[in-house]
């Protein structure tokens, strides 16, 4: 298997769309954006965290700097499927994503069992540092979603993605187990992400203003974590002692 790694440095803006907003916006984007070669895809992620959820609790406090570690696949993976080990950092509004590619078997042996992978790179050293710094990083949550990804006709670095069917679970933390879990969005909602290297194009800014589509603060892992804590509290308060 060939070595593969990627580095992304960009701004990311997020928006929650209702069904009608999504349909109208998609039509208006046609002259400016094209669906990428993968069309609609299912993306699955395993997020890693400490037993006390230090990474996501810190992230929810909205510090100037935060980071996440995840394992990602496109479609349902098996042992030989190429997957991505990703470190995602955000500093003062700029997102830095670094990733390396390996088979699911090798990635799980590395992240779950501590076996050294064949790749030796700066990205791997960043992952190793996270394991050494945070101590006892373990799989914490599975998040999956259906995605349509688009790129700009005039600027291919402009990316817009639409995510639906965002599902989370805290069991069966294995990319080979498929996409299922508790829904994060309401029926018909979609999460749109605009990913840009610099300023947003004027045509896109005007389009969003005219449709009254405004940015929101939305972390998939963060919102799923909050939903999981609310579910735990609900079960606690529903508990009643036997007579």
Quick: pLDDT tens for 48-72. 999 999 999 999 999 999 999 999 9
Alpha helices by DSSP H, 61-210: 104-111, 122-134, 202-210
* d(C-alpha 135, C-alpha 63), whole Å: 21
Tokens of 128: 């190793």
Residues 4-24 pLDDT 10s: 448 899 999 999 999 999 999
Residue 115 pLDDT greater than 90, yes or no: yes
Residues 222-241 pLDDT 10s: 999 999 999 877 766 665 55
Tokens of 130: 């996270």
* d(C-alpha 69, C-alpha 133), whole Å: 13
143 forms beta bridges with 45, 168
> How high is the pLDDT of residue 6?
82
| Confidence class for position 1, pLDDT limits 50, 70, 90 | very low
| Stated pTM of the model | 0.92
> How high is the pLDDT of residue 241?
52
> How high is the pLDDT of residue 240?
54
Residue 2 pLDDT greater than 50, yes or no: no
Residue 217 pLDDT greater than 70, yes or no: yes
The phi and psi torsions of 46 (rounded to 5 degrees) equal -110, 120
Provide the angle, in degrees to the nearest 10, between the axes of the packed helices 202-210 and 19-29.
150
5-238, superfamily in CATH? Answer: VTC, catalytic tunnel domain (3.20.100.30)
**Percentage of residues in the chain with pLDDT exceeding 90?**
86
Q: Is residue 35 exposed (0-12), middle (13-18) or buried (19+ Cβ within 10 Å)? A: middle
> How high is the pLDDT of residue 5?
46
Instruction: Find the helix or strand (DSSP H, E) in which 103 lies.
Output: strand 94-103
* d(C-alpha 26, C-alpha 147), whole Å: 14
Residues 173-183 pLDDT 10s: 999 999 999 99
**Of 81, 8, 69, residue with least CA distance to 42:** 81
- Helix, strand, coil: what percent of the chain each, to 5? 30, 40, 30
| Confidence class for position 186, pLDDT limits 50, 70, 90 | very high
Mean pLDDT confidence for 68-80: 95
Q: Is residue 5 exposed (0-12), middle (13-18) or buried (19+ Cβ within 10 Å)? A: middle
> How high is the pLDDT of residue 27?
97
Residue 88 pLDDT greater than 60, yes or no: yes
Mean pLDDT confidence for 165-173: 97
For the chain, the structural domain boundaries read 5-238
């Amino acid at each position: 298997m060939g070595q593969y790694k990627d580095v992304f440095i960009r701004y990311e803006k997020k928006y929650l769309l209702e069904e009608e907003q999504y349909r109208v916006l998609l039509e208006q984007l046609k002259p400016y954006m094209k669906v990428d070669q993968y069309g609609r895809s299912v993306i699955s992620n395993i997020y890693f965290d400490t037993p006390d959820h230090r990474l996501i609790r810190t992230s929810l406090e909205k510090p100037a700097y935060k980071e996440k570690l995840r394992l990602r696949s496109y479609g349902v993976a098996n042992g030989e499927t190429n997957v991505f080990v990703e470190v995602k950092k955000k500093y003062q509004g700029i997102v830095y994503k670094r990733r390396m590619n390996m088979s699911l078997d090798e990635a799980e042996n590395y992240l779950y069992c501590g076996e050294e992978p064949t790749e030796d790179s700066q990205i791997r050293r960043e992952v190793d540092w996270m394991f050494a710094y945070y101590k006892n990083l373990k799989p914490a949550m599975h998040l999956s979603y259906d995605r349509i990804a688009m790129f700009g006709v005039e600027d291919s670095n402009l990316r817009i993605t639409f995510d639906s069917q965002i599902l989370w679970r805290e069991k069966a933390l294995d990319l080979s187990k498929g996409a299922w879990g508790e829904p994060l969005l309401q029926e018909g909602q979609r999460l749109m992400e605009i990913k840009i290297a610099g300023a947003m194009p004027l045509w896109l800014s005007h389009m969003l203003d005219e449709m009254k589509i405004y940015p929101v603060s939305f972390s998939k892992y963060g919102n799923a974590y909050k939903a999981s804590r609310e579910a735990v509290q609900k079960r606690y308060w529903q508990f009643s002692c036997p007579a």
